[in-house]
Structures are given as C-alpha cells and as structure tokens.
Amino acid sequence: MRTLTYREAIREGLDEELARDPNVVIMGEEVAQYNGAYKVTQGLWEKWGDKRIIDTPISEAGFIGMGIGASMLGVRPVMELMFWSFHSVAFDQLVNNAACVRYMSGGLCSCPIVVRGPANGGTNVGATHSHIPEGLFAAFPGLKVCAPATPADAKGLIKTAIRDNDPVYFMENTLLYGMTGEVPDPADGDFVIPLGKAEVKREGSDISLIAHGRSVIHCLEAAETLQNEHGISAEILDLRSIRPLDVDAILATVAKTHRVVLVDESKPFGGVSAMVSHLIQEHAFDELDGPIKRVCTIDAPAIYSPHVENDQLPNPKRIVEKVLSMI
C-alpha cells in the first residue's frame, strides 16, 4: 500500500471529489494560486481553474455565508478556514444557518457544505489561534463533526463529508499535516469511511484509551510505553467521527477492558470526553472496575510558551501517568 502524508491524503480526496462531481468547489483564503495556507490545496487551482478553486476575501462570515447559500442551490462547497479558531467570526452562519436549514425548511432544503481546516493547539500561535471546537459544534443538532487522526482516515472521511447532504465540519491538525501513513490506492476502488464509525487502532485487554484526532497518536505512543515498561495492554479506540458518535464501539471496548481513560484536546469543562463519559456511565456502568478518568487540555487559554503549551495539551507522558494511577 502507498504511503502519503496527512496533507497529501486530504488533497487526493479533494481532487477525486472534484473529478467525480462538477458541483464540488473549494473556497477559502489563499486556496488557489497560493496553494493554501498549509499547502493542502497545492496544484488544484492549476488543474481545475478559477471556477472550481476560488480565493475569498478575509471575511469568514462573508464566504461561509456564500457557501451556505450556494449549497442550498445545488453546489457542494468545501470551505477552508485558515484556523478553526476563526469560527467565531462566522458563528451565526455556521450554527444559526447551516445547522438549521434542513429542519426549518421542513426538509425541502439541504445544506451539503464542508468546512475544513486546522483545529488544534500545540503550534505556539497564542490563545486566539488555538481553539479546539469540535465539542462545541457537536452540541448543535443538524451538524456533523469529524476529526481524523491518520492519512487514510483523513482521505476516507473528507470524501464522505463532501458527499453528505448535511453540513460536515472537518477538524484537522497542523501538527499532523506532515505525518505519513498507508492510504489505499485509487486504482483499488473508491475509498470512503462512513461517518459515525469508530476504529480500534490497537487491540488491548487491560484498559481502553478512547480518543480522536492527534490524541490518538499520543495514545499509540503511550500504549507502547505501557506495554514495554509496565506490562499493561492498552486498547485504543479512535472515535474518528464526533457526531454521529459510534456508541456501540465505545461500549464494546469498555466491556472488554473494564477500565477507561478518555483523551481529548478540548478543555475539560464539557467537551467530547465529557459526553463519552456520560454515555459509558449510563449504558455500561456495571462493566467498569473503576472510575472513568480523563486527560484533557489544562483549563486555561492556550499558552504561548512552547514548553508550557506542550504540557498543557494531552501528551504520552500525561496519559501514561493517568493509566498508572488506575492500575
């Protein structure tokens, strides 16, 4: 199987969907001639031209609103945010409009829009550029949210997101863009991953680590340390999709290991791991041999100092320490 970077995998998925459906367009700041702020759209403007790859003004409220309107008329726009932190500028469009179109039209209007871009801390760009809002958007009915951890998942999920008839908010991570991984070859068939389907990234028997996005990579590293230095077998469940959420997969891993650590880059108040914890408590309480524990971003605005921000976010060391406190 081929190896691609996370960035290349998303680009390949976008390119395939542009070829498959003439209604797919990409819009955002610097996505065309500049090839995207993170080079995800590199080469697409040269291949597809001005009508399919469209640079927008620096006005998230304006171009997200334009994309929503276009999606209601049959276009399938993929909108790039340079940072998901800029969602606040377009919050009314993202939540009041996109999320409610189908419901408030009685099902007469769809809003097949994808909004994608990096949603993470860890790059030392300050508090206003480091928000991690997947839990926020998952709280609104009508929206779908996913956060891929690997190049293969990034490609399979972006293709599925583009084909979905509802708004899908696609949370990437700048620290994953250069990460490599195996991705199926297009010659082997159309590769898509359904929303709402988690995946066990590592089998284990002693404890379950449940995560999404870059936290999955930290869990994999922590699991190696736990196995090699402490003889602890950790199973890792990658949620991949935040809403819809694969509740069956969550309950299955809890029933297998009976101990759980939830790893989530969101802040601890609310957030994805808080919802997962509630689901386990409600549906699998009798399976637990101990309390559910969480490793989240320490509850403060993103810290600018590289060394301090690295410790503020979940990392393998913090995960290992949490597991050892339980076993």
| CATH value at residue 220 | 3.40.50.920
Q: How confident is the model at residue 139 (pLDDT cuts 50, 70, 90)?
A: very high
Residue 1 pLDDT:
80
Q: Is the pLDDT assigned to residue 19 strictly greater than 90?
A: yes
pLDDT of 265 strictly over 90: yes
Last residue of a domain, one of 156, 188, 220: 188
Mean of pLDDT values over 45-72: 96
- C-alpha distances (whole Å) from 234 to each of 209, 228, 254, 261 are 7, 11, 12, 10
233 lies in the same domain as 174: no
**Is a pLDDT exceeding 90 seen at residue 82?**
yes
pLDDT tens-place string over residues 94-138 = 999 999 999 999 999 999 999 999 999 999 999 999 999 999 999
Query: Which whole number is the average pLDDT over 25-47?
Result: 96
Instruction: Judge whether 113 and 68 are in contact, CB under 8 Å.
Output: yes
Picking from 188, 220, 246, the residue at the C-terminal end of a domain is 188
Residue 113 placed within a domain: yes
Average model confidence (pLDDT) across the chain? 96
Query: Does 148 reside within a domain?
Result: yes
Question: Does residue 193 fall inside a structural domain?
Answer: no
Whether 130 and 48 share a structural domain: yes
Q: For the segment 189-240, what is each residue's pLDDT rounded down to a tens digit? A: 999 999 999 999 999 999 999 999 999 999 999 999 999 999 999 999 999 9
Residue-level pLDDT at 81: 96
| pLDDT at res. 94 | 97
- Mean pLDDT within 260-270: 95
Do 172 and 272 lie in one domain? The reply is: no
Q: Do 121 and 205 share a domain, yes or no? A: no
Which H/E stretch holds residue 15? helix 6-20
102 shares a domain with 141: yes
Catalytic residue among 8, 12, 60, 265: 60
Contacts for 58 with CB less than 8 Å, ≥ 6 apart: 29
Cα–Cα distance measured from residue 205 to residue 275, given in angstroms and rounded to the nearest whole number? 23
Determine the pLDDT at residue 226. Answer: 98
**Do both 170 and 227 map to the same domain?**
no
278 and 155, same structural domain? no
17 found inside a domain = yes
- Please state, for a pLDDT cut of 70, what percent of the chain lies above it: 100
Catalytic residue among 129, 230, 258, 283: 129
Domain that includes residue 86, residue range: 2-188
Residue 307 a catalytic site member: no
Do 51 and 134 share a domain, yes or no?
yes
* Cα 54 to Cα 32: distance, rounded to the nearest angstrom: 6
> Is 194 contained in some domain?
no
**Cα–Cα distance measured from residue 177 to residue 169, given in angstroms and rounded to the nearest whole number:** 17
Residue 8: active-site member: no
Number of structural domains, the chain?
A: 2
Q: Is residue 21 part of a domain?
A: yes
Q: Are 18 and 52 in contact (CB under 8 A)?
A: yes
228 part of a folded domain: yes
Same domain, residue pair 94 and 141: yes
> Of 141, 168, 188, at which residue does a domain stop?
188
Residues 209, 82: one domain? no
Q: In Å, what is the CA distance from 309 to each residue of 45, 213, 274, 298?
A: 36, 17, 22, 9
Give the domain CATH number at 42: 3.40.50.970
What is the Cα 139 distance to its own chain's centre?
15
Are 58 and 91 in a shared domain? Answer: yes
Predicted pLDDT at 163: 98
In this structure, the answer to whether residues 40 and 183 fall within a common structural domain is: yes
In a domain, 267, yes or no: yes
